[in-house]
């Protein structure tokens, strides 16, 4: 893999992102989190079934043999509804899902620095909102959450839908969500796309030149490869150790710099080492 160790890749000019009369716009930092095994320390789909209907895990795995996973979760929500699981029970239970304290602290500190922070996940909107609701002020740190929409009907059953209703055309990603295309949309809205410019090469130093934007992507799964490959040499991928993304990046050419982390402490340390957190 084209993996490089780095020092303060993103550290120059991050503290100030305002335009003044005598200087150009300082670099913008955009941080995008996957959710399961990335922001939180679990897979919210499997975890909630294990908590509320552990006897249904075998049925869930059987469905997955013939159906797309988003469709499986849609069906599992019907099963939980028949078992009497309510919206309130979902919310209450999600308050116990494993979530490194350091991850929440890092999000809050990055928000205080004025970074643009997003969630881009193949979970669903209700699960994510329910989990974030247990931590005061955490949801407001994220500019937007991009994920599969989920809503309750009048009978109290949760329905999970595809993020992409039409064919997104990406052969690398599952049919319900191409994270690469969504990331492209996010970065365009932030004014930091494309990431792989054909302009003259900027001499690399321990710090990036003043005004150079930086995108940080945090992920773990195979569907995080597409957005990771869209990033350029001035960007950072924080990949969960031993997970699918970590393995794929070792065997796939990529331009972004990669840091591997296993727990909240290592994650925070990596952010500090690349200059995202002081």
Active site (annotated) includes residue 34: yes
Catalytic residue among 8, 21, 34, 213: 34
Spatial neighbors of 154 by CB under 8 A, at least 6 apart, are: none
- Closest by alpha carbon to 257, among 225, 216, 222, 203? 216
Spatial neighbors of 201 by CB under 8 A, at least 6 apart, are: none
Rounded CA-CA distance 127/81 in Å is 15
Rounded CA-CA distance 123/239 in Å is 18
Active site (annotated) includes residue 255: no
Rounded CA-CA distance 235/212 in Å is 10
The pair phi, psi for residue 271, each rounded to 5°, is -60, -40
Q: Render the burial of 90-119: b for 16+ CB within 10 Å, e for the rest.
A: beeebeebebbebbbebbbbbbebebbbbb
Catalytic residue among 36, 45, 220, 246: 36
Positions marked active-site: 34, 36
């Amino acid at each position: 893999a084209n993996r490089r160790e780095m020092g303060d890749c993103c550290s120059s000019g991050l503290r100030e992102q305002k335009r003044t009369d005598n200087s150009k716009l300082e670099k913008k930092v955009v941080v995008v989190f996957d959710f399961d095994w990335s922001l939180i320390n679990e897979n919210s789909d499997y975890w909630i079934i294990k908590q509320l209907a552990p006897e249904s895990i075998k049925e869930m795995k059987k469905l997955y043999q013939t159906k797309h996973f988003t469709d499986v979760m849609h069906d599992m929500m019907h099963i939980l509804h028949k078992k009497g699981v309510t919206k309130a029970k979902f919310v209450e239970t999600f308050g116990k899902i494993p979530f490194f304290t350091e991850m929440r602290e890092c999000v809050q500190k990055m928000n205080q620095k004025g970074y643009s922070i997003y969630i881009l996940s193949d979970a669903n909107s209700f699960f994510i909102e329910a989990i974030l609701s247990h931590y005061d002020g955490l949801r407001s740190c994220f500019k937007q959450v991009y994920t599969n929409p989920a809503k309750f009907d009048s009978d109290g059953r949760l329905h999970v839908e595809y993020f992409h209703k039409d064919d997104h055309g990406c052969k690398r990603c599952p049919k319900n969500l191409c994270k690469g295309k969504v990331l492209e949309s996010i970065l365009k809205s932030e004014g930091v796309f494309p990431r792989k410019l054909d302009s003259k090469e900027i001499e690399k130093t321990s710090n990036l030149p003043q005004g150079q934007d930086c995108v940080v992507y945090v992920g773990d799964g195979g569907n995080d490869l597409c957005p990771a490959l869209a990033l350029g040499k001035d960007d950072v991928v924080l990949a969960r150790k031993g997970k699918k993304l970590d393995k794929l990046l070792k065997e796939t050419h990529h331009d972004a710099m990669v840091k591997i982390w296993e727990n909240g402490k290592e994650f925070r340390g990596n952010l500090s080492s690349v200059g995202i957190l002081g």
